[in-house]
Amino acid sequence: MTPDIIVTRDLIEDSKINQNEFLVNEFISTLSSLRKSNHLPLLHASISCKWTIRSDRAQNARSEGLNLVRNRKGRLPHVVVVTGEPTPNRIASIALGTGEIDCVYHFALYELEKALQNLGYGDSLDLFHTMVDGKRLKDISDLPLDLAI
């Protein structure tokens, strides 16, 4: 299983690291994964895109996240899912999991909230707010800023 989108981070040349103050050379910080002389680019984020969420798709996204956790060398990348799923119960099957997924981003979060309100789906709206308030479900516009960290 491979993610739909990966985001990598370029490594930094020693001259850039030492730009303002001498910090590294061939004897100092020799194993740092941030230095260009040591490694390939870092995996910064793994993004799984699911138009809708069925149980098998939820399991695939979880498995991708677990594989990254198990096989990583160094820090864990962001592991996220982007979806357009209209039902909060299915979104919750990924968003409220056991930590394999950092966050679920919805491409129409505010429209989904308004639709749930207009249809009077109180239980679904409560679940929706639980995920949003718990920072497990966000709007797609939040993704670029969250990945900047």
Sheet holding 5-9, edge to edge: 5-9, 42-50, 78-83, 103-106, 137-139
- Tally of CB atoms within 10 A around 116: 21
Q: Specify the pTM.
A: 0.83
In whole angstroms, give the CA distance from residue 55 to residue 21.
52
SS3 call for 9: strand
* Residues 12-32, mean pLDDT to the nearest whole number: 87
Q: Extract the tokens encoding 115.
A: 């639709």
More confident: 47 or 67 = 47
Q: Extract the tokens encoding 16.
A: 């850039």
**Predicted local confidence at residue 58, as pLDDT:** 65
Does pLDDT of 9 surpass 90? Answer: no
Grade residue 146 by pLDDT with cuts at 50, 70 and 90. very high
